[in-house]
Every structure is written in C-alpha cells, then in structure tokens.
C-alpha cells in the first residue's frame, strides 16, 4: 500500500484502479472517466489539514480524503475551518466511484458501474453517468445530463434536474426541493418522484407510452396530455391515465407542491 500527504499543488499517477473514494470540503472536484492511466491533479490547495492519498495495489482501491471527513459523517459536517481544494481525478469508466463534498462543486462524468455522490450544500453535475447512481444532499442541487441506468436522489431542500434522461429506474425524494425532469422512457422504465412542498415538472415526448399517476393533497395538477383524467377526493387530488400503449410507469406525488406534465417533441 502506498500513501501520500498532499499539502500543496501535486500530480500523481497510479496503477490499475477499480474503486475510488474521494472526499473534500470546499473548492472544486472533477472525477472523470478516462482510458489513460489513473491520475490525480491538485491544482489549488489551501488547508491547514493535509489531504491523504492512499493506493492499494492488491485491491486496486484509491482513496483521496481528509482523515477526519468520513463518508458516513459527511452530511453532518459542521466545522468552519478553511479547507479549499481544486482537484481532478481521472480513472477508468468501469471504476466504482464514491465522491463526497461539503460546499465544493463537483462534476462526475462518464462512469458505467456504481456511482455514489454526497453533498451538504455543494452543487453536483452527473454527466453521461450510467449504471447504478445514488445522490444524497442536504441542500445541494444535482443536475444529471444524458442519464441512463438507475438514479436514486434524496435531499432536504436540494433541487434535481434531469436533462435528456433515459432511465431504467429514477427515484427522487425531497422535502422542499424542486424536481425537473426531461425524460425519454424505456418500455420498462419506472419513475417515482415525491416531494412535500417542492414542485415537480416532467416533460415526456409526445409519443410516450406510459402509465401515469399524479397526486397532491393541496397542490395543483397540470397535464398537457389529454389522456389523463383528474379526480378530487377528500384531501387528495389525482390525475392519471395511459399514454399510448403504456408499459413504462411514471408516478409523481406531493403534499402541497404543484405537479406539471408537459409534452415535448416527437422522438
């Protein structure tokens, strides 16, 4: 096992990597899929505490993290000490990735296997990430571009934006955060969106084939698809119906938020 202590700008190259765990506090983080050798470039570093880099050749595990910033304790991080890092990691696209930030912004791009991201208030961009993806934030926003595979999102007040997604499974749950999703549904795609007071906006192609269910206790329900019919029962508004031949499913539920289903272009 090899270990480095980072206390300033640095460049490192590693052997084969199958698993990456990276955790920083403030600054910017980029984790990119690459066909070249695994590398770490720290362009800026301003911290009284060193960043510890550990590489295990036997297990092919790479870790880049502050020693006292654990994965399980990341969302509860309350320290106000200055720890700013600007870092870029390039590892194989089949690599399992766990990336955590406190206030830093992060971009994770191109991975195909398992990707876990956590943020307190930093914004996260997932670009062309497939496989199984899990994103958890307190107030940080998450943007997913060209999504494929499975995405699970949980947040208190963070927003989720899915641009050009073709999910197998999409599960999103927030308290007050907004959910915006521009989707193409696979025949077996399954989408479940839920908020307490956050608004939900979904756009599907005009030719979408899906069973749709929208529900809200007190929020407004709006659909551009004539196939959906609304009912108002005691303490619950619903709008549901089948688009085309069905097969895929979309469920959107709020307590007081508004749910809107828009019609996009034919695809």
User: What's the full length of the chain, in residues?
Assistant: 267
Q: Is the dihedral of CA 22, 73, 157, 237 positive or negative?
A: positive
Q: What is the pTM of this model?
A: 0.93
Residue listed under structure tokens 């927030």: 174
Contacts with 78 (C-beta within 8 Å, 6 or more apart), sequence order: none
pLDDT at residue 257, as a whole number: 95
Q: Please, are residues 97 and 108 in contact by the beta-carbon 8 Å criterion?
A: yes
Q: In which band, very low, low, confident or very high, does the pLDDT at 88 lie, cut at 50, 70 and 90?
A: very high
Q: DSSP characters for the chain?
A: -EEEEESSSEEEE-S--SEEEEEESEEEEEEEE-SS--EEEEEEEEESSPEEEEEETTTTEEEEE-TT--STTGGG------EEEEEEEEE-TT-EEEEEESS-EEEEES--SEEEEEESS--EEEES--SEEEEEESS--EEEES-EEEEEEEESS--EEEEEEEEEEEEEEESS--EEEEE---TT-EEEEE-SS--EEEEE-TT--EEEEEEESSS-EEES-TT-EEEEETTEEEEEEEETT--EEEEEEESSS-EEEEE----
**Over residues 164-173, mean pLDDT:** 93
Distance CA 115, CA 97 (A): 5
Distance CA 84, CA 115 (A): 23
Tokens of 36: 């070249």
Higher per-residue confidence, 247 vs 4: 4
Q: In which band, very low, low, confident or very high, does the pLDDT at 267 lie, cut at 50, 70 and 90?
A: low
- Cα distances from 257 to residues 114, 126, 148, 254, in angstroms, run 32, 26, 27, 5
**Over residues 40-49, mean pLDDT:** 95
Q: In which band, very low, low, confident or very high, does the pLDDT at 77 lie, cut at 50, 70 and 90?
A: confident
pLDDT at residue 148, as a whole number: 87
pLDDT at residue 266, as a whole number: 59
Tell me what the pLDDT averaged over the chain comes to: 94
pLDDT at residue 246, as a whole number: 81
């Amino acid at each position: 096992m090899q270990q480095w202590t980072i206390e300033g700008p640095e460049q490192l190259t590693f052997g084969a990597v199958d698993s990456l765990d990276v955790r920083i506090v403030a600054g910017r983080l980029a984790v990119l899929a690459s066909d070249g050798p695994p590398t770490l470039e720290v362009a800026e570093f301003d911290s009284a505490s060193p960043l510890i880099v550990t590489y295990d050749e036997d297990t092919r595990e790479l870790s880049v993290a502050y020693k006292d910033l654990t994965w399980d304790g990341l969302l509860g991080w309350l320290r106000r000490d200055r720890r700013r890092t600007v870092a870029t990691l390039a590892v194989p696209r089949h690599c399992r990735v766990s990336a955590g930030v406190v206030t830093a912004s992060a971009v994770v791009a191109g991975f195909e296997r398992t990707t876990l991201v956590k943020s307190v208030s930093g914004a996260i961009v997932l670009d062309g990430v497939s496989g199984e993806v899990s994103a958890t934030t307190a107030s940080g926003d998450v943007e997913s571009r060209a999504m494929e595979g499975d995405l699970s999102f949980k947040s208190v007040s963070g927003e989720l934006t899915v641009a050009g997604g073709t999910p197998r499974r999409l599960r999103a749950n927030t308290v007050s955060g907004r959910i915006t999703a521009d989707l193409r549904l696979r025949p077996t795609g399954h989408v479940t969106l839920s908020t307490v007071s956050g608004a939900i906006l979904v756009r599907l192609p005009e030719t979408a084939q899906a069973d749709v269910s929208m529900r809200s206790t007190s929020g407004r329900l709006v659909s551009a698809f004539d196939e959906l019919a609304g009912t108002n029962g005691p303490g619950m508004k619903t709008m549901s119906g089948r688009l085309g031949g069905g097969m895929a499913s979309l469920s959107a539920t709020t307590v007081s938020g508004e749910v809107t289903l828009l019609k996009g272009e034919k695809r």
